Amino acid sequence: MGLRFTLLGPARVFAGTRELDPGTAKQRALLVALLLRPGRVVPLHELAAALWDGDPPRSAVANLRTYVGRLRRLVASERIVTRHPGYLLRVDPGELDTAVFAARLDAGRRALDTGDLGRAEDELTAALTLWRGAAAEDVPRTLDLAPRLQALEERRRTAAEDLARVRILRGAGPELVGELRASVAADPVRERQWVNLVLALHRAGDIAGALDVCRAAHRALRDHLGVDPGEELVRLHRSLLDRTPPLGLPTVRPPTGPSGPRDEGPVGRGAERATLARLLVPGTAPVVVAVHGPVGVGKSALAARAAAGARWRFPDGHLWVDLGAARPGGTPRSPRDVLADLLRGLGVAPADTPVGTEDRARLLSERGAGLRLLFVLDNAADEAQVRPLIADWPGAGTLITGRRHLGALDRAEHIGLGPLAHADAVALLARTCGIARVRADPRSVARIASFCDHLPLALRIAGLRLRARREWSLRAFADLLADERHRLDVLTCADQSVRAALDTAFAPLRGAARGTERLAAELFGLLGVHAHGAFGPTEVSALSGRDDATATAALGCLADARLIEPSGADRYRLTGLARLYAAELGTRPVVALPHRGARVSLTPRPF
């Protein structure tokens, strides 16, 4: 028999749309005691404690058996199982509202952690909609049942606080003020809800009202609990007084640009998103996390999602800055200039900004001290660029993205990104050009994903081209990509281009002052023409006329730029789109390379 049990309000049992009568107050209490631990054996002495305060009567066991018998007739005998040392109530998935509430609440919090605020609001709203009153409000609160039902009520209150915060993060403000005022009036010791009310008033532009609420919260907590406000409310009050942006309302500028993927929500990367959610937690030491990977792998989009998901952990704000290493034809920005942007984000006027890099970094630490801020440093070039920019005080975090593995950064956690799994690549194509189109021709979709190296940037561009040209079949588009002479031309759409993105990785080598990096740039073109498998220093020495040590250093430069990838000990590979780009650079049959101060002409040998 299909049943439905409710505890989020009056304790009820339904068979379809028909409500069943659980019977006396003691029988309802027994039902509630079993439903609070569904699928688990509840010992007889705990059931007795749920029904009777103090010492149970001598007839308690006999009475329990009577009540169980009546409940069996109500819900079917196989539902309530006798199992030493008590009874077990079997509940199928979806039948118990407390289980549904817990699942929706957990889903909402996971969505909040990963920055999916729309889904977080939907799930939390659905969870709270299940409540129709106080938990099991028609059942007497015995000493055993009271704390268990109180725990349910506590989850309801925290869910309401989470939902209010999500709505504020999504831009709500004035429409929440009345609801939040009623909430703190009914429960004046809920400090998170006081914070939400302050934030909502700030969103509404009522700074005076927000300051009044800070003072009211202070009085309420002292009067009811004898304690001062906690760290979050104190910081928020100070930011209101100082008019220091972002005044507790985190803002993240999502990365957009000609060479970066747009942040349109996560596709795949579940493990990496979970790792970032675990690492981006303020603590007694500053948090530093660096995400690295090759061109077009989706580093910026992942960082944007992670930063959005960590908004509630860093309530004093997020500051996002592009460090410039991914700008086509550009050069990375100097730490001095970036520090000016960060200081401006913390409310420091240009006239009050020091001149030198060290002085700016020192002022950044002074202004940020005590604030739970998250810096997102996107498109970093190297360790020297980011070291002066890292938030170095407890409670702060720094999330860095870049092609290089910044292994020389102290106390940093590193996350490497590779191509998307095939299913995730297909999902990204479907999101861009239409799911029906993708489902109609899975073979061609697999070819397109392969020709795009399963990289988010290339896949997105391919999807945009297909969306713009509805008359193209997926098979015809896959055939177009199959021609290596035109693949990079095809993977260009408006301001997005795989070739332009690869230019950003190659340009620093081409214009480098160091001889090793210039050699790496010239070697890259040679490899594009002549490398058709794994290679190492020996093959590169023969190709370039340099010794093994110099060849090893040049290969290291190319690997740092993520233009070639490791393939075993002292071995590398140049594959896919990067190989096609390198081949464009190295089509000359005779190449002049610097060699021990002289210029020599080489005829490369394939390997």
Indicate whether 329 pLDDT > 70.
no
3-class DSSP state of 287: strand
Q: First and final CA of the chain: distance in angstroms?
A: 72
Average pLDDT over residues 170-199: 89
Find, among 143, 240, 254, 236, the residue nearest to 194 by Cα.
Answer: 236
- The residue with greater pLDDT, 11 or 265, is 11
Mode of pairing for the β-strands spanning 42-43 and 86-89: antiparallel
b/e sequence 433-472, b meaning 16+ C-beta within 10 Å: beeebbeebeebbebbbebbbbbbbbbbbbbbbbeeeeee
Return the CATH number of 1-170, one of 1.10.10.10, 2.30.30.830, 3.40.50.2300, 2.60.40.10. 1.10.10.10
Find, among 444, 432, 509, 430, the residue nearest to 476 by Cα.
Answer: 444
| Residue 257 DSSP label | B
| Residue 57 DSSP label | P
Contact by Cβ (8 Å): 425, 411:
no
What is the chain's mean pLDDT, rounded? 85
Residue 305 pLDDT class (50, 70, 90 cuts): confident
- The residue with greater pLDDT, 129 or 507, is 129
Furthest C-alpha separation in the chain: 105
Average pLDDT over residues 338-354: 86
| Residue 18 DSSP label | E
Task: Annotate 339-385 with three-state secondary structure.
Answer: HHHHHHHCCCCHHHCCCCHHHHHHHHHHHHCCCCCEEEEEEECCHHH
Cα(283)–Cα(45) distance, rounded to whole angstroms?
43
Residue 257 pLDDT class (50, 70, 90 cuts): very low
Residue 479 pLDDT class (50, 70, 90 cuts): very high
Average pLDDT over residues 370-385: 90
| Per-residue pLDDT, 310 | 84
Average pLDDT over residues 297-319: 85
DSSP string computed for 302-352: HHHHHHHHTTTTSTT-EEEEE-STTSTT--PPPHHHHHHHHHHHTT--GGG
Assigned CATH topology for domain 270-416: Rossmann fold (3.40.50)
From the CB of residue 255, how many other CB atoms can be counted at a distance below 10 Å? Answer: 21
| Per-residue pLDDT, 598 | 32
Cα(245)–Cα(98) distance, rounded to whole angstroms?
41
| Per-residue pLDDT, 262 | 43
Find, among 17, 49, 21, the residue nearest to 36 by Cα.
Answer: 49
Q: What is the edge-to-edge ordering of all strands in the sheet holding 397-402?
A: 318-322, 374-380, 397-402, 287-292, 413-416
| Per-residue pLDDT, 43 | 92
Average pLDDT over residues 52-61: 88
3-class DSSP state of 251: coil
Only one residue has tokens 């993520």, namely: 562
Per-residue pLDDT reduced to its tens digit, 525-569 = 888 888 778 898 988 888 888 888 988 999 999 999 899 999 888
Contact by Cβ (8 Å): 17, 62:
no
Cα(12)–Cα(35) distance, rounded to whole angstroms?
11
Over the Cα atoms of the chain, what is R_g?
A: 31
User: 118-127, 264-273, 303-312: which has the highest mean pLDDT?
Assistant: 118-127
Indicate whether 593 pLDDT > 60.
no
Indicate whether 603 pLDDT > 70.
no
| Residue 260 DSSP label | B
Indicate whether 288 pLDDT > 50.
yes
Cα(318)–Cα(300) distance, rounded to whole angstroms?
15
Per-residue pLDDT reduced to its tens digit, 87-97 = 999 999 899 99
What is the crossing angle of helices 498-510 and 515-530, to 10°? 140
| Residue 128 DSSP label | H
3-class DSSP state of 45: helix
Find, among 197, 597, 268, the residue nearest to 449 by Cα.
Answer: 268
Per-residue pLDDT reduced to its tens digit, 454-478 = 999 999 999 999 988 888 999 999 9
Cα(554)–Cα(540) distance, rounded to whole angstroms?
9
| Per-residue pLDDT, 110 | 84
The backbone torsions φ and ψ at residue 232, rounded to the nearest 5 degrees and listed phi first, read -65, -45
| Per-residue pLDDT, 544 | 81
Kindly report the pTM of this predicted structure. 0.61
**Cα within 13 Å of Cα(313), Cβ side:** 25
Cα(543)–Cα(351) distance, rounded to whole angstroms?
56
Per-residue pLDDT reduced to its tens digit, 380-400 = 989 999 999 999 999 899 999
Cα(150)–Cα(11) distance, rounded to whole angstroms?
15
Task: Annotate 131-143 with three-state secondary structure.
Answer: CCCCCCCCCCCCC
Cα dihedral sign, 329-334-335-340: negative
- The residue with greater pLDDT, 406 or 244, is 406
Average pLDDT over residues 194-209: 87
Residue 326 pLDDT class (50, 70, 90 cuts): low
For the structural domain made of 175-249, what CATH number should be given? Answer: 1.25.40.10
Indicate whether 594 pLDDT > 50.
no
Average pLDDT over residues 433-449: 91
| Per-residue pLDDT, 247 | 46
Assigned CATH topology for domain 511-602: Arc Repressor Mutant, subunit A (1.10.10)
CA 6, distance to chain mean position in Å, is 34
3-class DSSP state of 519: helix
Mode of pairing for the β-strands spanning 374-380 and 591-595: unpaired
Lowest mean pLDDT among 20-24, 259-263, 350-354, 594-598: 594-598
> Tokens standing for 25?
């107050």
| Per-residue pLDDT, 328 | 57
| Per-residue pLDDT, 240 | 80
Task: Annotate 410-471 with three-state secondary structure.
Answer: CCCEEEECCCCCHHHHHHHHHHHHCHHHHHHCHHHHHHHHHHCCCCHHHHHHHHHHHHHCCC
> Tokens standing for 559?
């690997």
Average pLDDT over residues 17-32: 90
Indicate whether 196 pLDDT > 80.
yes
| Per-residue pLDDT, 412 | 94
User: 17-21, 130-134, 345-349: which has the highest mean pLDDT?
Assistant: 130-134
**Cα within 13 Å of Cα(216), Cβ side:** 17
> Tokens standing for 564?
């070639």
